[in-house]
Each structure stands twice: as structure tokens, then as C-alpha cells.
């Protein structure tokens, strides 16, 4: 098994060899890092036309909806973290999908009361949450941008209209989704040829999505949430366009669910780590809290004189402890009393840190008691421990900054690769399956409820030093998003790697499991680094790749460095504006 894995890795490394140069660019202008060159070019076009980072981020995101439609798009939702240079503050724009009015804790239960199989629940109208992306873009542009939809959607409309060449990564994900897309006539027509994924090298155009973007450009946010586009989403969810003989569970979505959808402006989670200020995403994402908590646990240790393996051991164990609490306590704060103060307390972190020994915990750890560290002790909830619910490894993240110093860290998604698999008839975009991010059986803080936002792991993060931006990072990858952002921060701050090296390094994801997930795409299994950690009791479970991060470093000399992936997700794109 190991020999086969190593051979597969060697073959992949050779195949990717020509592309393996890491996208890194440094300069004095605005910067962008995304997983798609088309999307980075769209952001640059807007920056060069005088737009700011918020305008450019929406342009890049809309283009990713064309070139990376299986990971993200207007049929989904996300979390945007904005650093406003003139206000010197960070704002979180939560445009997570919301459950429709018809939802209740029993929606994902079988007739006998057992939880539905997660994979079986995904490709249905039932899994579709009210999309938040267009509302989020609208809020970001009107409050912090300088341009309107007409300008920022123009590059994406062009790419959708003219088309782009299908690459190996698009094809890989398309292939993985053949069965899902075969369920729906609209998805089969857009993403399959003779029941197979679109071939590498073919030109893929999406004129229906171009027209939907044009409708939004002309009619604004209302054109999406009211009127014909909204009506076609309601019809697609309640009467999915299933191919003959395919059984699909419909949802129950109304025009009012769409019209009433709101993005929420939230305070970021704010914490400190070894002299840095870490700003992350609050609930309904668990990302900001889990990263802050894990870093607080790590801060309990003096790292001077510690080897790389010893520091990585602490990272893995701190992540394990943070995930035990994340799984037990964090959900949409509008529905659950999340013990924020306790979870973010340095004293609580020191207590949790005492559980870490010189060797890996033999398996899952119990959640702690953050309530003892709340000033308000009136919330005596003691949930039973739960295993990590299933979450997909998909989504996308982008980073943009501009000459004025504004920064956008933006993660958005349609949840699983290909979302629910339902392409809205005549509109050219896939609907999400975000509601499968709820825990299926009660009692649990993250149980399905009407108007609730399912818990997320998305972790757009902005890091300040002495009050000024130091770097920003984020990634896709379901619950591995948290560990990717966390490990990159540890690599950069504690192991002293450049942000580019921190991002490219092999990833290890410990989420309170018996084993730690590692990648076969990079030469980690069998390496000296792996053996050093194995000697401390760490055991591995392998997956091909973890995450696809993007980041920007704000350097002491006034330059910025945009960094993206050399290999993962086919490699990304990083560009700094030239004068």
C-alpha cells in the first residue's frame, strides 16, 4: 500500500513537474492570489481600472464561479473578511446560506429516526440552503467598494461568454462528479459529454451564466432574490430537474425565503499570538474560534530550543483539543449560547494545554469546560461528545489587497464539489448542498432549524503586527480549512518559514481523530519529518491533497508578496500590480 502510494506520488510529482514553480509575486501595488489565473486577471483588471480590493475580490469571485464552478458560485454562500485601511478595522461579512422556513430538526432523519447517510443526502433539493453570495457581494460593494455590479461582473461575463480551456484539475473534479451530474438533466447538459466529464483541452462556455450575471449587473441584488431568477431557483429546489428514473428528494423553498435573505456584518474573532493580532471569522463559522483557541494553547509553551518535530507535535495536539470543543459547542450564535469568552480565554487554554504530553494522545479527547471561564456562568449546557460530522473537502479562498492598504480575505463555496448537483434551468449555476453542514441528529447545537445557518469551518484570517497588516491566509477544505490556516500560521510565525514556504509545506490535519490526515501529493509519507512525528506516536491517514490556500504577506519594506499553491488544485495564481 505504502509502495503504491509512493509510486503514485512520484508519478504525480513528475506530471506536475512542469507546473510546480510556486506562484509568488512581490511589488508595491495591489495584489491578488486565487486558485484560477482567469480570476486573478479579473481582479487585476479591476485594480488597474481604479477599483479597490473589495471591487477586485468580487470580480475574482465571480470569475471563479465560471472557471471553478464545482467549488463556488452564486448558488452558494461564504464569509468575507475586509480590512478597511481608512477605518483601520476589520469587518466580517457573513453571507452563509440559511435554512428555509420549512426546516426543522427532523429533516435529515430516516423514517426509523436514524440519521440519513450524508452522501445520500447531498444530491437533492432538500440539501439546498438559501444562497447568500450575491447579497454578500452587494453588501461588500455598497459599503466598502467603489464600483457596482456592472463593472465588477464584466470580466466574469467575458470568460463565461468566450469560454476557457478545460484543464486537468477541472476535469478531475468533473470526473468525480459524473454520477451526481447524471442525476439532473441541466447538470448533464452543462458538465457531461456522452455521460462523461468534459475532456481536457475542450473549450467550455457558459452563456446562461453570462446572462444571469448580466441580469444581476442590470437589476442589482433584487434581480437575484426576487423575480424570474428567484422563481427558477425555487422551482429547481422544489421540483428538481431529475433525469428519467432518478429519485430526488425535493426541498421546500419559497420566494419569501429568498427575498428575506440577509447578509450579516459581524465583529471578527480577535485574539493574540506571540505579539501578533489574529482576526478571524465568527459564528456561524467555527474557524475563527478554533484557530484562536489552538494558538492560545500553543502559546502556553515556550518554543525556544524546540525542534521542528516538537513544534509540529504541539500544533497537532493543540488542534486536537480545539476541535474537541469546536465539535461540542460551536454553532450559529443566533440559535445557541456559544461560550465565546471561555473558549477564547488564555487561562482556559493553559488548562487545556496541560493535557498535552510528549507523545500524541492515543485517540479522541473529551471537550473541556469553557463555562468555568465565562464571566456569565448561567449557561450550564454540557453536550455529549460527538464525532466530527462529515464535511466536504471543497470550497475556494482568495486574497486581494490594494494600494490604499485595504485587504479582502474571502472564502466561499457551494459545499461539496458540484454542490447539490442541481444546475438551475436556464441560469447556468449550481445550487449548494450547504444544509448538509448541519449535524443530522438532535440534540446538538448545530441541529437543523428554520432560518439557521449551518456551522462552517471557513477561516479567512487577517493577521496584524503592531497595528498594521502582517499577512492574510485562508483555504478551502471543509473542516481541514481550520488546520490548513492554523498550520500555515504556525509554519510562518513559529517555524520561521516565508509565507510561500509555509503555504507550500506538506499539510497535516488533526481534528480530534485517532489518526492525522496527511497528503500523498507531496513527499510527506515516509519522510524524515513523518518519522520524527511517528516517534512521538502520531499515526497517519492519507488523502491526495489538503486545501488550496492563498495569502498575501505585507513586508516591512512596504512591498507586498502574493502567494498561491504550486501543486494543489492544479496550482494557483498570484499577481502584484505593476506601475
The minimum distance between CB 129 and ligand GLY, in angstroms, equals: 10
Stretch that binds ligand GLY, among 307-315, 455-463, 511-519, 568-576 (CB under 6 A): 455-463
Stretch that binds ligand GLY, among 350-358, 421-429, 453-461, 487-495 (CB under 6 A): 453-461
Nearer to ligand GLY by Cβ, of 174 and 457: the residue is 457
Q: Examine residue 396 and tell whether it contacts ligand GLY (CB under 6 A).
A: no
The C-alpha cell at 376 is: 456569565
- Secondary structure of 410-466 as H, E, C letters: EEEECCCCCCCCCECCCCCCECCCHHHHCCCCCCCCCCCCCCCCCCECCCCEEEEEC
Q: Across 346-422, where does the E strand assignment appear? A: 396-401, 407-413
What DSSP assignment string belongs to 505-526? SPPEE-SSSSSEEEETTTT-TT
Question: Which of 395, 411, 480, 516 is the catalytic position?
Answer: 395
Stretch that binds ligand GLY, among 222-230, 341-349, 452-460, 465-473 (CB under 6 A): 452-460
Spatial CB neighbours of 484, under 8 Å, sequence gap ≥ 6: 475, 477, 507, 509, 546, 547, 549
475 lines the binding site for ligand GLY (CB under 6 A): no
Of 464 and 481, which CB lies nearer to ligand GLY in the complex structure? 481
Q: Any contact of residue 478 with ligand GLY (CB under 6 A)?
A: yes
| 133 three-class SS | helix
Binding of ligand GLY by 405 (CB under 6 A): no
Q: Which residue in 133, 327, 406, 456 binds ligand GLY (CB under 6 A)?
A: 456
Q: Which letter does DSSP use for residue 555 in this model?
A: -
List, in sequence order, every residue forming a beta bridge with 552; answer none if it has no partner: 472, 562
CA distances from residue 517 to 12, 33, 53 in whole angstroms, order as listed: 19, 26, 34
Question: β-strand 164-165 against 203-204: which pairing, if any?
Answer: antiparallel
Output the furthest CA–CA distance in the chain (Å, rounded): 65
Smaller CB separation from ligand GLY, 309 or 414: 414
Beta bridge partners of 78: 95, 412
458 binds ligand GLY (CB under 6 A): yes
Q: Is residue 395 among the annotated active site residues?
A: yes
Tell whether residue 435 is a contact of ligand GLY (CB under 6 A). Answer: no
- 395 sits near ligand GLY (criterion: CB under 6 A): yes
Q: Is 437 in the site for ligand GLY (CB under 6 A)?
A: yes
Residue 110 in 3-state DSSP? coil
Kindly identify the residues of this chain, within the stretch 373-392, that bind ligand GLY according to CB under 6 A: 391
Measured from the CB atom, the residue of 457 and 577 that comes closer to ligand GLY is: 457
Between residues 38 and 95, which has the closer beta carbon with respect to ligand GLY? Answer: 95
- The total number of residues shown for the chain amounts to 579
Count other Cβ atoms within 10 Å, centred on residue 497. Answer: 17
Of 84 and 395, nearer to ligand GLY (C-beta) is 395
Q: Contact between 446 and ligand GLY (CB under 6 A)?
A: no
The Cα 37–Cα 33 span in angstroms is 9
Using the contact rule CB under 6 A, the part of the chain among 26-34, 43-51, 365-373, 456-464 near ligand GLY is 456-464
Q: How far is the CB of 127 from ligand GLY (least distance, A)?
A: 11
- When asked if residue 332 is in the footprint of ligand GLY (CB under 6 A), the reply is no
**Which residues 480-509 are close enough to bind ligand GLY by CB under 6 A?**
481
Gyration radius of the chain over CA positions: 22
The residue of the chain with the least Cβ separation from ligand GLY equals 456
Q: How far is CA 474 from the centre of its chain?
A: 7
Q: Which has the closest alpha carbon to 58: 130, 157, 131?
A: 157
CA proximity to 312, closest of 537, 4, 19: 537
Size of the site for ligand GLY (CB under 6 A): 10
| Interacting residues toward ligand GLY by CB under 6 A | 391, 395, 413, 415, 437, 456-458, 478, 481
Q: Residues with catalytic annotation?
A: 395
Amino acid at each position: 500500500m505504502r509502495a503504491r502510494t509512493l509510486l503514485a506520488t512520484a508519478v504525480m510529482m513528475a506530471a506536475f513537474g512542469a507546473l510546480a514553480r510556486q506562484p509568488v509575486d512581490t511589488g508595491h501595488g495591489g495584489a491578488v492570489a486565487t486558485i484560477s489565473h482567469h480570476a486573478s486577471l479579473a481582479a487585476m483588471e479591476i485594480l488597474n481600472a481604479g477599483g479597490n480590493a473589495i471591487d477586485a475580490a468580487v470580480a475574482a469571485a465571480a470569475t471563479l464561479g465560471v472557471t471553478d464552478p464545482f467549488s463556488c458560485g452564486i448558488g452558494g454562500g461564504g464569509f468575507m473578511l475586509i480590512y478597511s485601511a481608512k477605518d483601520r478595522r476589520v469587518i466580517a461579512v457573513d453571507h452563509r446560506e440559511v435554512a428555509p422556513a420549512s426546516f426543522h430538526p427532523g429533516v435529515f432523519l430516516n423514517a426509523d429516526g436514524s440519521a440519513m447517510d450524508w452522501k445520500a443526502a447531498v444530491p437533492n433539493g432538500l440539501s439546498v440552503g438559501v444562497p447568500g453570495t450575491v447579497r454578500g457581494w452587494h453588501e461588500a460593494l455598497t459599503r466598502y467598494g467603489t464600483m457596482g455590479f456592472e463593472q465588477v461582473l464584466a470580466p466574469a461575463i467575458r470568460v463565461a461568454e468566450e469560454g476557457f480551456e478545460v484543464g486537468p484539475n477541472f476535469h478531475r473534479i468533473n470526473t468525480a462528479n459524473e454520477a451526481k451530474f447524471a442525476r439532473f438533466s441541466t447538470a448533464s447538459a452543462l458538465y457531461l459529454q456522452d455521460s462523461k466529464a468534459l475532456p481536457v483541452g475542450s473549450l467550455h462556455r457558459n452563456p446562461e451564466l453570462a446572462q444571469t450575471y448580466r441580469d444581476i449587473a442590470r437589476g442589482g441584488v433584487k434581480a437575484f432574490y426576487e423575480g424570474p431568477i428567484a422563481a427558477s431557483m425555487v422551482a429547481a429546489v422544489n421540483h428538481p430537474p431529475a433525469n428519467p428514473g432518478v429519485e430526488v428528494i425535493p426541498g421546500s423553498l419559497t420566494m419569501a425565503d429568498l427575498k428575506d435573505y440577509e447578509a450579516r456584518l459581524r465583529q471578527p474573532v480577535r485574539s493574540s499570538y506571540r505579539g501578533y493580532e489574529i482576526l478571524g471569522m465568527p459564528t456561524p463559522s467555527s474557524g475563527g474560534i478554533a484557530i484562536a483557541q489552538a494558538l492560545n494553547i500553543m502559546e502556553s509553551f515556550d518554543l525556544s530550543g524546540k525542534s521542528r518535530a516538537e513544534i509540529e507535535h504541539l500544533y497537532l495536539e493543540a488542534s486536537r483539543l480545539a476541535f474537541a470543543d469546536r465539535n461540542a459547542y460551536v454553532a450559529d450564535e443566533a440559535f445557541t449560547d456559544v461560550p465565546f469568552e471561555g473558549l477564547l480565554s488564555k487561562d482556559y487554554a493553559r488548562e487545556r494545554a496541560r493535557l498535552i504530553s510528549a507523545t500524541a494522545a492515543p485517540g479522541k479527547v473529551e471537550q473541556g469546560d469553557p463555562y468555568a471561564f465565562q464571566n456569565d456562568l448561567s449557561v450550564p449546557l454540557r453536550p455529549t461528545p460527538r464525532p466530527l460530522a462529515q464535511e466536504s473537502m471543497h470550497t475556494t479562498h482568495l486574497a486581494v489587497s490594494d494600494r490604499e492598504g485595504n485587504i479582502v480575505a474571502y472564502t466561499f463555496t457551494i459545499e461539496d464539489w458540484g454542490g447539490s448537483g442541481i444546475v438551475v434551468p436556464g441560469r447556468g449555476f449550481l445550487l449548494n448542498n450547504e444544509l448538509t453542514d448541519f449535524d443530522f441528529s438532535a440534540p446538538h447545537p448545530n441541529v437543523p432549524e428554520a432560518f439557521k445557518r449551518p456551522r462552517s469551518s471557513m477561516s479567512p484570517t487577517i493577521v496584524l503586527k503592531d497595528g498594521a497588516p502582517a499577512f492574510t491566509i485562508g483555504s478551502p477544505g471543509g473542516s481541514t480549512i481550520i488546520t490548513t490556516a492554523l498550520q500555515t500560521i504556525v509554519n510562518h510565525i513559529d517555524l520561521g518559514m516565508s509565507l510561500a514556504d509555509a503555504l507550500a509545506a506538506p499539510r497535516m490535519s488533526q481534528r480530534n481523530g485517532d489518526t492525522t490526515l496527511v497528503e500523498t501529493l507531496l513527499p510527506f509519507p515516509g519522510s524524515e519529518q513523518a518519522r520524527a512525528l511517528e516517534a512521538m506516536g502520531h499515526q497517519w491517514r492519507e488523502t491526495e491533497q489538503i486545501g488550496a490556500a492563498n495569502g498575501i504577506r505585507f513586508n516591512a519594506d512596504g512591498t507586498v508578496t502574493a502567494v498561491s499553491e504550486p501543486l494543489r488544485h492544479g496550482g494557483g495564481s498570484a499577481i502584484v500590480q505593476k506601475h
